[in-house]
Amino acid sequence: MERNTPPFAVSNTVHRKGLYPDNEPFAYGWLPTGGTHEIFYEECGNPDGKPCVILHGGPGGAINPTMRRFFNPAKWRMALFDQRGCGKSRPNASLEDNTTWTLIEDIERLRIHLGVEKWTVFGGSWGSTLALAYAITHPHRVEALVLRGIFLLTQRELRWFYQEGASMLFPDAWQRFCAPIPEAERGDMMAAYHKRLTHTDRRIQAEAAAAWSQWEGDTISIRGPEARPSKFNEIDFAIAFARIECHFFANGGFFKEDNWILNNIDKIRGIPGWIVQGRFDVVTPMDSAWRLKTAWPEASFDIVWDAGHASTEPGIVDGLVRATDQALKL
């Protein structure tokens, strides 16, 4: 590592920080995009605080109240929004004009709408992908990056989770994931699911969406399927989540080349960054975080030894809260 490079830390269980108290939005609305989409957003915390934008995962997920609690509400002005087709944004589950690049345009549109010059960008899983892509595209608008569960959206990562790799750790959940797909089509699970999730028959969509969403829910926690978050069982959430996620992944994230993020990492080397990664993350394995840290040695790197992918695991909470507290000092 280079001189003055922060060494990586392995999180311990002593004196871990918890989430900040819940706080309600002080403003919300729907932001027009100039097309068919309207983006739901909300602002929380201190209207005069340090600005940040919080990016949810998926793609296809949605914002939730817990996401506000990684930041000190007395000191941060938090902006959250449901990405195209997600949550309260309209129209729900829409794939039209829904790409990484249009989402980056939406982040900029929201920044301008809120009158923010520069902000800290926070994201986990797909949120880390989008945060990195946004920072590479608009580095002068990013004061800092706080990232969790690094996902670079490469073909290697997609094969691991949707074809062969994670299946060896969760064979019980994988069997359920395979169930809607005839054996003859299982050589390309993503293509098989994409065909069903874009089918005109909602019943076919729903069956595929339930299995797709539950596979991710079953693997998200170090505790396994018994810790599946309840939202992955809700069919309306599952359809939007699975359709949009599969749409992005089948198109390689709409990046110009595989490994696009690391190929462009030099554009953000000067931005302060914090990376928090669960050692036993199966959804976005630590290899991606390690490769990001290697390419971006200036970033702080916190390995949580007793965590998987979920943002609410105690060690992940601790790492993220400490990171946002440190980002306040910039």
- Lowest model confidence (mean pLDDT) among 110-114, 229-233, 259-263, 325-329: 229-233
- Whether the pLDDT of residue 263 is over 50: the answer is yes
Catalytic residue among 89, 309, 311, 318: 309
96 Cβ contact list (under 8 Å, min separation 6): 36, 37
pTM for this prediction: 0.96
E strands along the chain, which residues?
9-11, 27-32, 38-45, 50-55, 76-81, 119-124, 142-148, 273-278, 300-304
Residue pair 51/119 in contact (Cβ under 8 Å)? The answer is yes
Q: What is the Cα–Cα distance from 317 to 311, expressed in whole angstroms?
A: 6
Residue pair 85/93 in contact (Cβ under 8 Å)? The answer is yes
Q: What is the Cα–Cα distance from 38 to 167, expressed in whole angstroms?
A: 37
Please tell me what DSSP assigns to residue 23: -
pLDDT digits (tens, 9 = 90+) for 123-153: 999 999 999 999 999 999 999 999 999 999 9
Please tell me what DSSP assigns to residue 6: P
- Structure-token pair, residue 11: 């999180």
Residue pair 311/148 in contact (Cβ under 8 Å)? The answer is yes
What is the structure's pLDDT at 2? 45
Q: Is 194 a catalytic residue?
A: no
Catalytic residue among 281, 302, 311, 318: 281
Catalytic residue among 11, 125, 213, 300: 125
Residue pair 301/289 in contact (Cβ under 8 Å)? The answer is yes
Give the CA dihedral 251, 252, 258, 260, nearest 10 degrees: 110
* Secondary structure of residue 85 in the 3-state scheme: coil
- Whether the pLDDT of residue 3 is over 70: the answer is no
In which band, very low, low, confident or very high, does the pLDDT at 9 lie, cut at 50, 70 and 90? low
* pLDDT (average), residues 254-275: 98
pLDDT digits (tens, 9 = 90+) for 149-197: 999 999 999 999 999 999 999 999 999 999 999 999 999 999 999 999 9
- Whether the pLDDT of residue 11 is over 90: the answer is no
What is the structure's pLDDT at 7? 58
What is the structure's pLDDT at 14? 76
* pLDDT (average), residues 95-101: 98
Domain residue extents for the chain: 9-153+255-327, 162-251
Residue 301 Ramachandran class (φ > 0 left, ψ -120 to 50 alpha, else beta): beta
Q: Is 309 a catalytic residue?
A: yes
In which band, very low, low, confident or very high, does the pLDDT at 12 lie, cut at 50, 70 and 90? low
- Whether the pLDDT of residue 89 is over 60: the answer is yes
- Whether the pLDDT of residue 201 is over 50: the answer is yes
User: Which CATH architecture best describes the domain 9-153+255-327?
Assistant: 3-Layer(aba) Sandwich (3.40)
Please tell me what DSSP assigns to residue 301: E
pLDDT digits (tens, 9 = 90+) for 49-84: 999 999 999 999 999 999 999 999 999 999 999 999
Q: Tokens 């920044």 belong to which residue?
A: 111
pLDDT digits (tens, 9 = 90+) for 275-326: 999 999 999 999 999 999 999 999 999 999 999 999 999 999 999 999 999 9
Residue pair 160/168 in contact (Cβ under 8 Å)? The answer is no
